[in-house]
Amino acid sequence: MAETASLTAGGAALRVAVAQRFAGGFAIDARLDVDLRPGSMLVLFGPSGAGKTTILRQIAGLQRPDAGVIRFDGDLWCDIEQGVWSPPQSRRIGLVFQEPTLFPHLTVRQNIVYGVRTTHRVRPRSDLGSSDTGKPSDKVRPRSDPDLTVAGIAKVLGIEDLENRYPRALSGGEGQRVALARALAPDPRLLLLDEPFASLDGPARVRLRREVRALLQTTGTPAILVTHDRTEALALGDTVAVVIGGCVRQVGPVSDVFSHPADAAIAASLGIEAVLPAQVAGSSGGMIHVAVGEVRLQVAEREAFAIGAAVYACVRAEDVTLETLSSGHASTRNHLAARVISIASEGPIDRVTLDCGFALDALITRQSRDELHLTPGADVIAAIKATSIHLVPRL
């Protein structure tokens, strides 16, 4: 199996070391060792078809690997060699899919309380020692808020007024809110989310992300999210595990992984637009000088590279600033003469593709584009801070 990717911190330990082969040659060979803090989110990030959902389903107990071990918070969920396999219901996980899978014959409230498992019963109000009513309580006991109820979860998700509706009367966003409430109502030890926002429109997706984040913090429930959406990973994740070709290739805090990909393949999968073959030309004053064809770049020296070393220079589009004239500011070490090749709208943001002697993208606001009078063919300066360029060895 591939080398274990690990991150240590305080929380519930998740250890995954699994292998599975499929017809056609695709294989899962994934190792992951992380600690999930209460209310935190681990993002399984990577391109479509990378194996993210398969790994999530193995953690959930919905899919059995050919070999390997899965442990969570001290419990052994899977050990194929020893014949150990815990079914999903014994793992006490919540699971939400891309489409809301609600019971069509039950109301919103009935859907939410369906999965509530409790060992106590509601006593009659007289409290005269009579027997149980047989009615299960909807009280849930999350780690961070022992008084949170099903109604409280519904309120955080904005569905408290929908309890008597049936799923057919719900919008897509409302249905996903109900699915999330149902998954969290039994107080799961771990919440698993398989691209639950993918089918929603932009505004609904943003609102639901915010609500889910708030609810996880309130309940103290750790979660794992599968997504190939970089914005979603950055908005929701505390820790990210990059999955490529069935393997976990890098794991760490979201900001660290996105800013410092371990290799060019990871950089490309993270949506770092420019992964430029380069060669180290020298170093001085805390700067590494690299050559990208005929263009020289100055890069902050985070680690030593030998002169002549082959590297990739990775630049994110959001780290490129466009100017009509070089500002000469000391904090921006690289000022590259460039020509605008094309401008594409991405909602309120424009993506400007440049020719700097190599291809480079920049993301700017519509207002900035208008102020700079940018059009295809315009000459500009592309400014990049030395700290915004990340070098990875070219193997």
Q: Which helix (H) or strand (E) holds 244?
A: strand 239-244
Backbone angles phi, psi at 56, to 5 degrees: -60, -45
Q: In this model, does residue 170 exceed pLDDT 50?
A: yes
Q: What is the mean pLDDT of the chain?
A: 85
pLDDT band at 264 (very low <50, low <70, confident <90, very high): confident
- HSE-up (13 A, CA, CB side) for residue 306: 4
Positive or negative torsion for Cα 21, 27, 31, 32? negative
Q: In this model, does residue 73 exceed pLDDT 50?
A: yes
- Considering the entire predicted model, what is its pTM? 0.75
List the domain boundaries for the chain.
1-271, 274-393
Give the residue carrying structure tokens 């149980």. 132
Q: What is the DSSP string of 65-129?
A: -SEEEEEETTEEEEETTTTEE--HHHHTEEEE-SS----TTS-HHHHHHHT---S-BPPPTT-SS
Rounded CA-CA distance 195/212 in Å is 13
pLDDT in tens, 176-232: 999 999 998 888 999 999 999 888 887 888 888 888 888 888 888 999 999 998 878
Does residue 169 contact residue 106 with C-beta atoms inside 8 Å?
Answer: no
For the beta carbon of residue 384, count every other beta carbon within 10 angstroms: 25
Rounded CA-CA distance 314/267 in Å is 7
**What percent of the chain is modeled with pLDDT above 70?**
87
Q: Looking at the domain that runs over 1-271, which CATH code has it been given?
A: 3.40.50.300
Q: Looking at the domain that runs over 274-393, which CATH code has it been given?
A: 2.40.50.100
Q: Compute the average pLDDT of residues 71-99.
A: 94
Token couple for 381: 């300066």
Q: Compute the average pLDDT of residues 225-243.
A: 91
pLDDT of residue 6: 46
Q: Closest Cα partner for 122 from 105, 138, 109? A: 138
